[in-house]
Amino acid sequence: MTGKKIIIAQPDPALSAVRLNKSVIVSFLNLEKEKMVRYGFQARIVDFVKEYQLSSSQSASAIILQQNSIPKPYDLRMFYRIHPPSDCGLEISVYNQPLGIIDISIGGTLISATRNQDREFNFEVGETIRVTLALDEHQFKLDAQIKRISYPENQKRSRELVFIALQFINRNPELDRILGVKILEIQRELRSKGLKP
């Protein structure tokens, strides 16, 4: 069934009002045969409610969604990821500063930055940043949302190095095609050398 209105709590970090009327993917877990299965469906943000009444004495920030598709099994990691070598013609930069690529797929990337870069960029989960993705002679400027920030186990105190997971949010068919071809090329090259992609 589609067209149904759904009310959910604001996530943390909260979505801002600029996302009104934007499409989102909602996912949830369902217990089936003693196993949790994730489903997802497309929806549109139709309203933000600052004080949604949960009870006569309790309220919370909420989002009203309009369901636009039926739930289907959904994989949060829908795209094949590779760990590219540094000399493969694949580069990413933020604010004109090149960063290390840990892994990458058509849908996003995991990058690394030094502590000094982290201070300058002042990264926050949920923030959208502008990145430049260079694929040999091609360059794409696109928006990416920060999904996760983490630190290596042996550097959690000093935090000299930070890992930032990004989701590409305004991809286009040309980028998908060129990046998809590049990922396959790197995969074949790594396998020909007996390395894991």
Tens digit of each residue's pLDDT, the chain (197 residues): 557 899 998 876 678 888 888 888 788 888 888 777 888 888 899 999 998 888 888 888 899 999 988 888 876 555 678 889 888 889 999 988 899 999 998 889 999 987 665 445 667 888 889 999 999 989 999 999 898 888 877 665 556 788 899 989 888 888 888 888 888 888 888 877 777 66
Is residue 148 one of the residues assigned to a domain?
Answer: yes
Is residue 78 one of the residues assigned to a domain?
Answer: no
Taking a C-beta distance cutoff of 8 angstroms, is the pair 143, 130 a contact? yes
118 and 171 in one domain? yes
138 and 186 in one domain? yes
172 and 143 in one domain? yes
DSSP string, the chain: --S-EEEEEPPSSPPPGGGTT-EEEEEEEEEETTEEEEEEEEEEEEEEEEEEEEETTEEEEEEEEEE-S--EE--S--S--B---TTSSEEEEETTEEEEEEEE-SSEEEEEEEHHHHHHHT--TT-EEEEEEEETTEEEEEEEEEEEEE--GGGTTT--EEEEEEEE-S--HHHHHHHHHHHHHHHHHHHHTT---
95 and 45 in one domain? no
181 and 111 in one domain? yes
pTM of the model: 0.58
Distance, in Å, from the CA atom of 64 to the CA atom of 49, rounded to the nearest integer, reads 8
Is residue 85 one of the residues assigned to a domain?
Answer: no
* Per-residue pLDDT, 104: 92
- How many domains does the chain fold into? 2
Is residue 15 one of the residues assigned to a domain?
Answer: yes
62 and 109 in one domain? no
159 and 117 in one domain? yes
Boundary (domain end) residue, out of 18, 44, 73: 73
Boundary (domain end) residue, out of 26, 46, 73: 73
65 and 38 in one domain? yes
Is residue 126 one of the residues assigned to a domain?
Answer: yes
What CATH number does residue 126 fall under?
Answer: 2.40.10.220
Is residue 83 one of the residues assigned to a domain?
Answer: no
174 and 119 in one domain? yes
10 and 64 in one domain? yes
Tokens of 111: 């990058």
Structural domain including 51 reads 5-73
Is residue 80 one of the residues assigned to a domain?
Answer: no
Taking a C-beta distance cutoff of 8 angstroms, is the pair 45, 106 a contact? no
Residue among 146, 139, 153 nearest 111 (CA): 146
Taking a C-beta distance cutoff of 8 angstroms, is the pair 167, 147 a contact? yes
* Per-residue pLDDT, 119: 45
